[in-house]
């Protein structure tokens, strides 16, 4: 049977269980659009290519299966790359399929011809150009397998338009095998014993989790080990690292740890490279990582273990059952510190002052998250307050990239992945401008998320840095208008609410939720600097 290369692409996606393509249309990929018809692969078409990748990123984080974004060549491909960096730092399984200039016209100045692979390589685990129409299905299957294996992350494949349109012989819907993962090497028994000895002898051991290991599927292994030993575990997925406001008082306890198990967490800026004052000078690290290149033996790293972190933790758990552990009290101290709030926060959560303090917004939002609500929080000062002041069973944050703008498209993907759950996105007024028009995407696809915009009329994170570093008379280029973003939602077919008084918060949020529409609750807030907990600083 003669079929198109585009049909092989969709065959491979369908065989892998991919049911959604997050995409923005363009000349070079229309054959793939056509090939999805009748195949059970739905196109969720966005208003910007970066939004498509943010949606694929959220899908990957929530399901642990690769989210797939499909964009067109040249400018479309380049628009997608900034979002790939966010997925890379969040260790999220994503596959970006980009249309590309025809192979037959390579080097001749074809329309939108560029070296897309080289552009994508710094922000991916792997990137390549498809060169054979008959093997397009294998390209896709390989990309999905690489994205999900080891440390998850984004993978890119450029798909030349003439290969997608080419006619090839092969049966319809033929299954395509993914790349076979090499057998995972695990540490020797002697290394497992050495790691356990270091942890058992420590007075205040701690486990710090990388982004992928902090997600539920992999974290389950860590929780089993933590319950057995009493050693507390904390995620390191915020760009503010050891000063992550979500850590609350636990951030100040990091410097007291004497042995730290880095479980899939690189010894990078987020953990201040293991250096004082974030950690004690004598603190020793045990590093566990699926990628040998990420291991940094020597210096503060007393022991480096190569292996998939959850598999290594399972080995540690099995070997730990024969030991006596004495860290329950320390573990409770860390958990209590994480659950505690600074003095004065209760008053701010109940405050009637205007403009509204961000913690008063948290007080109104928390009941909407209790019982399974999903929190998607962007960066910036308002986002940090929301991350600090809210707890949710499931949450997505901007991640270690420190980028902003992802919250709204990620919230749409969360609603798609978890259709029975309420999804709340919190973002600042500057951030809202990145992907405000994805409210149109939400309306077209019937995804009723609630976006709560903290509107202080400025890029407040940068404004706070200017105040700190240059003084109040040298703040420049951070001003915004107190715009009516709620009316943007209404214009795009959604529901809008504008709130200036604290007592109006709960009723406005209730109306937004019950509207059954994509909603924007535009809240005029105090431009408060985000909370800080440690001497290590931001």
pLDDT tens-digit readout, 413-428:
999 999 999 999 999 9
What was the pLDDT predicted at 538? Answer: 32
Residue 498 has pLDDT above 90, yes or no: yes
What is the pLDDT at residue 162? 96
How far is the C-alpha of 40 from the C-alpha of 17, rounded, in Å?
10
Q: How confident is the model at residue 106 (pLDDT cuts 50, 70, 90)?
A: confident
- Name the pTM for this structure: 0.95
* Mean pLDDT, residues 307-320: 95
pLDDT value for 214? 96
**CATH code for residues 189-339:** 3.40.50.1220
CA distance 482 to 475: 18
Predicted confidence at residue 175, as pLDDT, reads 55
- What span, in angstroms and rounded, lies between the C-alpha atoms of 392 and 372? 7
Taking residues 144-163, report their average pLDDT. 97
Neighbours of 89 (CB within 10 A): 21
- What SS3 state is found at 425? strand
Find the range with the poorest average confidence among 57-61, 440-444, 459-463. 459-463
Burial of 282 (0-12, 13-18, 19+ CB in 10 A): exposed
Q: Name the residue with tokens 């535009």.
A: 522
* pLDDT average, residue stretch 256-279: 96
d(CA 346, CA 204): 30
Distance (Å) of CA 270 to CA 158, 242, 313: 32, 6, 22
Per CATH, the number for 2-169 is: 3.40.50.970
Start and end residues for every CATH 3.40.50.1220 domain found in the chain:
189-339
The predicted structure's pLDDT at residue 172: 58
Residue 533 has pLDDT above 70, yes or no: no
Is the pLDDT assigned to residue 282 strictly greater than 50? yes
Res. 231: pLDDT tops 90: yes
Q: How far is CA 339 from CA 246, 388, 527, in A?
A: 9, 10, 25
> What are the two backbone dihedrals, phi and then psi, of residue 98, each rounded to the nearest 5 degrees?
-120, 130
The average pLDDT across 519-536 equals: 83
Model confidence at 537, in pLDDT bands (50, 70, 90)?
very low
How sure is the predictor about 177, in pLDDT bands with cuts at 50, 70 and 90? low
Reported as half-sphere exposure (CB side, CA atoms, 13 A), residue 44 has a value of 31
* Structure confidence at residue 292 as a pLDDT band (50, 70, 90): confident
Specify the pLDDT at position 531.
Answer: 87
* Residues sharing a CB contact under 8 Å with residue 192, sequence separation 6 or more, in sequence order: 305, 312, 315, 316, 319
Residues of the chain with CATH 3.40.50.970: 2-169, 345-524
pLDDT band at 348 (very low <50, low <70, confident <90, very high): very high
What are the structure tokens assigned to 331, written together? Answer: 């573990």
What pLDDT was estimated at residue 279?
A: 96
Closest CA to 285 of 303, 271, 268: 303
How confident is the model over 325-351, as a mean pLDDT? 95
pLDDT of 134 reads 97
Average pLDDT of the chain, as a whole number: 94
Confidence of residue 111 (pLDDT cuts 50, 70, 90): confident
Q: What is the pLDDT of residue 112?
A: 84
What CATH number was assigned to the domain covering residues 345-524?
3.40.50.970
Low-confidence winner among 37-41, 180-184, 368-372, 473-477 (lowest mean pLDDT) = 180-184
Confidence check: pLDDT of 249 > 70? yes
């Amino acid at each position: 049977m003669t079929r198109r290369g585009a049909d092989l692409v969709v065959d491979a996606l369908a065989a892998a269980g991919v049911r959604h393509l997050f995409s923005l249309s363009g000349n070079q990929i229309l054959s793939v659009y056509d090939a999805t018809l009748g195949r059970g692969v739905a196109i969720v078409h966005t208003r910007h290519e970066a939004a498509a990748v943010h949606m694929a990123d959220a899908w990957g984080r929530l399901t642990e299966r690769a989210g797939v974004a499909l964009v067109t060549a040249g400018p479309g491909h380049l628009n997608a790359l900034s979002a790939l960096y966010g997925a890379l730092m969040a260790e999220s399984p994503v596959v970006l399929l980009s249309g590309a200039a025809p192979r037959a016209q390579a080097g001749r100045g074809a329309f939108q011809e560029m070296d897309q692979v080289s552009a994508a390589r710094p922000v991916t685990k792997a990137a390549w150009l498809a060169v054979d129409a008959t093997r397009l299905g294998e390209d896709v299957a390989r990309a999905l397998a690489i994205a999900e294996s080891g440390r998850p992350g984004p993978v890119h494949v450029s798909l030349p338009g003439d290969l997608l349109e080419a006619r090839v012989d092969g049966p319809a819907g033929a299954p395509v095998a993914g790349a076979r993962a090499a057998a995972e090497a695990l540490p020797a028994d002697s290394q497992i014993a050495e790691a356990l000895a270091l942890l058992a002898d420590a007075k205040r051991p701690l486990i710090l989790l990388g982004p992928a290991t902090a997600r539920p599927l992999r974290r389950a292994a860590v929780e089993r080990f933590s319950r057995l030993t009493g050693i507390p575990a904390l995620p390191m997925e915020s760009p503010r690292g050891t000063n992550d406001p979500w850590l609350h008082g636990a951030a100040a306890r990091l410097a007291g740890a004497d042995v730290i198990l880095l479980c899939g967490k690189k010894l990078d800026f987020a953990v201040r490279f293991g250096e004082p004052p974030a950690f004690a000078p004598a603190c020793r690290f045990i590093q566990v990582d699926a990628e040998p290149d990420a291991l940094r033996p020597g210096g503060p790293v007393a022991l480096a273990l190569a292996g998939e972190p959850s598999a290594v933790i399972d080995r540690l758990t099995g070997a730990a059952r024969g030991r006596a552990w004495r860290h329950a009290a320390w573990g409770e101290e860390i958990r209590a510190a994480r659950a505690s709030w600074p003095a004065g926060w209760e008053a701010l959560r109940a405050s009637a002052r205007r403009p509204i303090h961000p913690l008063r917004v948290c007080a109104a939002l928390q009941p909407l998250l209790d019982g399974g609500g999903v929190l998607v929080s962007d960066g910036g000062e308002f986002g940090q307050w929301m991350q600090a002041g809210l707890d949710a069973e499931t949450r997505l944050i901007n991640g270690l990239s420190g980028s902003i703008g992802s919250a709204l498209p990620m919230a749409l993907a969360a609603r798609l992945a978890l259709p029975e759950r309420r999804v709340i996105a919190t973002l600042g007024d500057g951030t809202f401008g990145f992907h405000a028009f994805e409210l149109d995407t939400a309306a077209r696809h019937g995804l009723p998320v609630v976006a709560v915009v903290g509107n202080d009329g400025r890029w407040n994170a940068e404004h706070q840095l200017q105040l700190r570093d240059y003084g109040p008379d040298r703040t420049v280029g951070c001003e915004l208008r107190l715009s009516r973003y709620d009316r943007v939602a209404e214009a795009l077919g959604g529901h809008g609410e504008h709130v200036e008084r604290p007592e109006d918060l709960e009723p406005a949020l209730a109306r937004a939720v019950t509207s059954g529409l994509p909603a924007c609750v535009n809240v005029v807030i105090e431009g408060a600097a985000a909370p800080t907990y440690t001497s290590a600083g931001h």
